[in-house]
Structure 1
Amino acid sequence: MLRALPVVLALGFVLIGRVNSHQESGEWSCESGSEIRLEAQFRPGLVTLDGHADDWEGIYGSEFSLLPALDPDDDDEYKAGKMTVKTVHDGRDVFFLLQVDGEYKYSKGENNKCPSVALMFQVGEHATYHNMGGCEEEADSCTNKTCKGHEVDIMHFSIGNAIPGRLYGGNPIDNRDGNGGDRFGHLVDVYAWNPHCRHLDGIGPSGNDSSAQNDWKGAWWHSSFDVHSGFVEQDSPYASGNPKGTYYFEFSRPLRTTDRLQQDAQFTIGGSSKMAVAFWYPVDGKPWHGSGHYSINCDWVPMDISSGSSVLSQSSTSSSGSTAGIFALLLSVVSLCSSVFVGYRVLKPKGVPFTPMENL
């Protein structure tokens, strides 16, 4: 327990240190498309959480331009391509796939020289996308009382110590200590009230709560990799040079968690939640900083959790249509056969009866 404390504190300092530079250049403005939505389809038994996108091919995704989060100007759009976001659920867990083109960049142990992603969800009713919850308290005065209703739930994955294709996030060691950390791959579970007031789940200004845990799991991959049997740490940097390709980030989390601290978003089948996606990239090889990320939208994006009944209803409708079609075809065949038989009987030549000679 004592050995784990420096790790937790280090993670906390990393999280806090990265947001100190969160300063906007001018007045905030946002022109969000109100028609933007994501749908988590009910697709049980489909996704294997390994960073590969093969099992997502039949899933519809939404494509987004990536604009700077603090100043969403089209002129500063991420140049390598758009981000595609896909999501499904199996009735227990919800799964996410983020895919975005980019030259392969990896520097072991240096997170800000590698791509990074985050998902953010509204928890409190008053939590805004802008300013990460929107609580107006300063870092030394934000608490679960002064910022009540402004909670947001964040999953942040920095891959500098994460092996491609391996699973990171919640693990028995960090969860035993009661926090949202991940000492192995930095796929952390965080909550926030604003950019200057964010903490690992279970850790806060009013004290720590050992009931918290990291509920996320995830993996990453790049399309340039030519090894599919699995990497180990000694294989770093896993690819030679900076080949062009596509990054894949795959995540899962239970629809409902055991959170009792108002730090996790809770998803309901048939309901809707609000989310955002952030992407960091070392453009031109320059290390990124905490507030220098791209976002898929300048406001919350609604995410609908589809119910299994709607899928079954569609399936039943399709099945009913198929049955009706088969019955109609069978009826047509019977009618055709009857017509042929009747026609044969009508057109059949009538034979002349034989009369013996002695009867003439």
Structure 2
Amino acid sequence: MLFHHRLLLPHLLICCLLVLAASHQESGEWTCEPDDEARISAHFRPGIVTIDGRANDWADVDGFEFPLRPALDPDEDKQYKAGKMAVKALHDGTDVYFMLQVAGDYVYSKGDDHMCPSVALMFQVGESATYHNMGGCKESPGTCNYTNCRGHEVDIMHFSIGNSIPGRLYGGNSVNEEGKEDSVGLVDMFSWNPHCRNIDGSGPSGNSSAAQNDWRGAWWHSSFSTNTGYIEVDSPYGSSGQKGTYYFEFSRPLRTMDLLQQDAQFSIGQSSKFSVALWYPGDGNPWHGSAHYTVSCDWVAMDVVRGYSTHKEVGSWDAASAFAFVISVVALAVSVFVGYLLVSKSKSIDFTPIDRL
């Protein structure tokens, strides 16, 4: 695979790609030993999540904790030292929701995305799309297109928080005819390989005015003390270096109106392949495009589960059903008892032979 970051406008795209191409150099032969038990289940849990970056409404949702290791060299000795990333997912029959939780000191530099944590989600779209090399199409930036890279598409959502306010909702904007992305840094992209990435609706064949950023997201840090909303003038929103946990919360329709093979499409009862990446500025130094951590060195399975799961909020339904069942049993017992009394009473009436009438 690998996730890479692009937040420059189209007229800087060529320079950006050249820098990223130079930075995307792996040392040695690629090896991967993924965790076979790593799997996410998005259960049907309607009406419990608000996209505000807060984690309290996810308390009863199960997830999976992944160690974070460098994407270009997934060595256990080089993994993210602050801790693992917990990934949770659910759906409400219309949208799919994600919560990413990862420990990290609060660092924030307004307007400088590379001095703030960033995260990305990546999904397989084309059947031939590999995790390694972000789709795995072997074409170069000058030759990759919808024809010779068909089947290698991956869907990417990238959220850089340098210009965003914690707790506020971002994304969901239409991409204009110039292919410009969300100015805050929550972008909806697709890729065929690390050097052939485009904002949704743009690409070698031009731009589509109908392109849509289908993602919405928010972020938070556990060190924040306010229970009300922040505004831009409050930046920085906490004391630098405060220990705690970052929360990144996202949603997107299960199915989108994509006509260009740029979005992953989720179906209830089926599995999809995805991954998650984290960029974090270490030791006061900005992160760079290929220096990111990922949850696995291969695709992770996500099951979009049918119907209700056996979580706590379902317990109220179970209790109501049990109560109704008890009432039904009691009513049946009463009916049987009354019937018994009526039959017993009828047996006590004296028999009068017909010849005495």
CA contact (8 A) 1:151 1:262 kept: yes
Give the SS at the match of 2:283: helix
Give the SS at the match of 1:285: coil
Deviation at 1:19, TM superposition (A): 2.8
CA contact (8 A) 1:12 1:199 kept: no
Q: TM-score, normalised by structure 1?
A: 0.83
CA contact (8 A) 1:32 1:299 kept: yes
Q: Which residue of 1 aligns with 2:62?
A: 60
Q: TM-score, normalised by structure 2?
A: 0.84
Letter in 2 for 1:156: H
Q: Which residue of 2 aligns with 1:145?
A: 147
Any gaps of 5 or more consecutive residues in structure 1?
1-5, 335-360
Deviation at 1:228, TM superposition (A): 2.1
Deviation at 1:311, TM superposition (A): 6.7
Moved over 3 A (4+): 10-18, 174-180, 309-312, 314-331
Letter in 2 for 1:19: L
Q: Which residue of 1 aligns with 2:255?
A: 256
Deviation at 1:15, TM superposition (A): 6.3
CA contact (8 A) 1:98 1:250 kept: yes
Deviation at 1:23, TM superposition (A): 1.1
Q: Report how many aligned residue pairs link the two structures.
A: 324
Give the SS at the match of 1:322: helix
**Cα RMSD over matched residues?**
2.7
Q: Which residue of 2 aligns with 1:121?
A: 123
CA contact (8 A) 2:271 2:301 kept: yes
Distance 1:34 1:63, change over 3 A: same
Deviation at 1:92, TM superposition (A): 0.6
Any gaps of 5 or more consecutive residues in structure 2?
1-6, 335-357
User: Considering only CA atoms, is the larger Rg found in Structure 1 or Structure 2?
Assistant: 1
CA distance in 2, matches of 1:60, 1:15: 39
CA contact (8 A) 1:165 1:231 kept: yes
CA distance in 2, matches of 1:23, 1:135: 16
Deviation at 1:199, TM superposition (A): 0.6
Deviation at 1:10, TM superposition (A): 5.6
Deviation at 1:227, TM superposition (A): 1.2
Q: Which residue of 2 aligns with 1:71?
A: 73
Q: 1:22 aligns with which of 13, 21, 24?
A: 24
Distance 1:288 1:207, change over 3 A: same
Distance 1:73 1:245, change over 3 A: same
Offset from partner CA, 1:146-171 (integer Å, 9 cap, x none): 10100000000010001111111122
CA distance in 2, matches of 1:18, 1:248: 30
Q: Which residue of 1 aligns with 2:101?
A: 99
Mapped pair 1:305 → 2:307: no
Offset from partner CA, 1:26-50 (integer Å, 9 cap, x none): 1100001222210111011110000
Farther-moved stretch of structure 1 (8-17 vs 295-304): 8-17
Letter in 1 for 2:167: G
Aligned-pair identity in percent equals 60
